[in-house]
Amino acid sequence: MNAILKPGPSPAPMHPPLHRPMGVADLDAVLAIENVCYGFPWTRGNFIDSLAAGYRCELRLGDDGRILGYAVAMPGFEEMHLLNITVSPECQGLGHAHALLERLIDDCRAQSLHSLWLEVRPSNERARALYARRGFQEVGLRRAYYPAPAGRREDAIVMSLLIPGGPPHGLD
């Protein structure tokens, strides 16, 4: 017996995730993600300070407008410093962090910035792998940088990416 497939409704078209600047009105949703992702999350004050300082704060949104992830970066002289990049747990592993990172790199290029810097916990192997795949190099270590359980501190690996077309690190 052969089955005859009847045409059914077409699935709704999938649109690529949208990006927009983060605002104070987004902080409840952002903090919900932040608090579930980290043992030592950023506070509302950290995000408000970043917004007030004019840092690059961007959201990645799903078709339904739900926040999938976000990135916060601080511009500096000829460089950008990634402070926070986070994706909601149910959306991890789907390329959202990579997309946020690529948009940040594109923004650096558009602003003629020469490098992108970040710190990452040695224990955050998933993030370290993402950064290494993108070409970031480990360039240093900040001792006792991050809070850790039982009042301890965890080191931070400093990583840097030269933005294509920019001069090497340092002053010429």
Q: Could you tell me the CA-to-CA distances from 17 to 20, 43, 64, 99 in Å, in that order?
A: 10, 26, 9, 9
How many CB atoms lie under 10 A from the CB of residue 87? 23
The partner residues of 110 in beta bridges, in order of sequence, read none
Q: Which helix H or strand E contains 50, and what residues bound it? A: helix 44-52
Q: Give the three-state DSSP class for 67.
A: strand
Is the four-CA dihedral 95, 100, 103, 105 of positive or negative sign?
A: negative
Six-digit token string for 165: 């077309």
Whether 131 sits among the annotated catalytic residues: the reply is yes
% helix / strand / coil in the chain, to the nearest 5?
Answer: 30, 35, 35
Tell me, what amino acid is at 50?
Answer: S
Catalytic residue among 119, 138, 145, 154, which? Answer: 119
Catalytic residue among 34, 58, 79, 131, which? Answer: 131
Q: Give the three-state DSSP class for 56.
A: strand
Give catalytic residue positions. 119, 131
